[in-house]
Structure 1
Amino acid sequence: MVVTTVVGGRREHRKWARESLTDAFVAFLEASWAHSDVVRDAPARRAVDGDDAQECYAEMRSQLTRLRLLASEEVLRAGEDLLRAQRTAQEARPGAARQEALLAAARCRRLVVAAAKREMGLP
C-alpha cells in the first residue's frame, strides 16, 4: 500500500508538472502573438501604443517566470531571447525596421516552440 501511494503520488506530481509546463508555454506564446499583433497593427508612421503592448509584454514576463520554475535552461534562453525580440519590435521605428524586428521575433518564437517540444518529449 505504501509503494502504491508513493508511486501514485509521483505520477500525479509529474502529471501536474507537465500540465503546468504546457499551460505556461501556451500562455507565453499567446502573449507573444498578441504583442506582435499590437506592434504590427500600430499606425505605420507612429510609435506603438504603450498600454496594449505593455500588457502583452507583462504577461510574457509573468509566464517566463513560471517557465523558470518548470523548464530547462534551453527553454529559458529561448524565452528570454523572444522577450528581448518583442521589446525590440515594440521600440523599432515604423516601416522596414519594425517589420524586420517582427520577423526576428517570429524566428525567436519558432525557437521557443522547438525548445518546448523537446522539453516535453514531442516530435
Structure 2
Amino acid sequence: MGDASAWAAWVAAATSLATLIVTTVIGGRREHRKWARESLTDAFVAFLEASWAHSDIVRDTPAEHPLNVDTAQAFYAEMRSQLTRLRLLASEEVLQAGEDLLRCQRAAQEALPGLARQEALATAARSRRIVVAAAKREMGLP
C-alpha cells in the first residue's frame, strides 16, 4: 500500500464516494423542491377551480329557483379539502387569503337572490384575486 498507484486508487475511490454522496444529497433536495412546488401548484389550481365553479353555481341559479345546495356544497367541500393541502404546503399569508375566500363563498351561497347575492359574489371575486396574488408570491412568480 506504499506505492503511488495504490494511493491514487484510494484517493480516486474516496473522491468518487464523496461525489456520489454530494450528488445524492443535492439531487434529493432538488427533487423535494420540485415535488413541493408541483404539489403547491396543484392545490392552488384545484382550490381556485372549485371556487370558480361554486360561484358559477350560485350566480347562474335563477332568482325564482332554489339554489342546488348539494352541488354548491360539493364545490365548497372541495375548497376545504384543498385548503387543508395548502395548510401543509403554503405560508400563513396564503392560508389567510384562502380562509377569507372560503368565508366569502359561504356568504355568497347563503345570500338571498338579487342584489345581496351579486354583492357577495363580487366580494368573493375580489377575495379570489387576493388568493391568486398570494399564490403567485408564494411561488415566486411575477
Which range, TM-score by smaller chain? over 0.9
Where does the alignment leave 5 or more consecutive residues of structure 1 unmatched? Answer: none
Give 3-state SS (helix, strand or coil) of 2:112's partner: coil
Taking the TM superposition and a 5 Å limit, the aligned residue runs for 1:61-76 are 61-76=80-95
- Tell me how far 1:47 sits from its aligned partner: 4.0
- CA–CA distance in structure 2, aligned partners of residues 79 and 20 of structure 1: 16
Q: Distance in 1 between matches of 2:64 and 2:37?
A: 44
Match of 1:56 in 2: 75
Match of 1:86 among 90, 99, 105: 105
- What's the secondary structure of 1:54's corresponding residue? helix
Structure 2 alignment gaps of length 5 or more: 1-19
Shift of 1:27: 0.2
- Give me the TM-score of the superposition, normalised by structure 2: 0.85
* Residue pair 1:48, 1:91 contacting (<8 A) in 2 also: no
Q: Which aligned pairs between 1:23-42 and structure 2 lie closer than 5 A?
A: 23-42=42-61
Match of 1:21 in 2: 40
Q: TM-score, normalised by structure 1?
A: 0.98
Deviates more, 1:42-51 or 1:10-19: 42-51
Q: Percent identity, please.
A: 81
Structure with the greater relative contact order (CA < 8 A, sep ≥ 6): 1 or 2?
A: 1
| Contact 1:45-1:95 within 8 A present in 2 as well | no
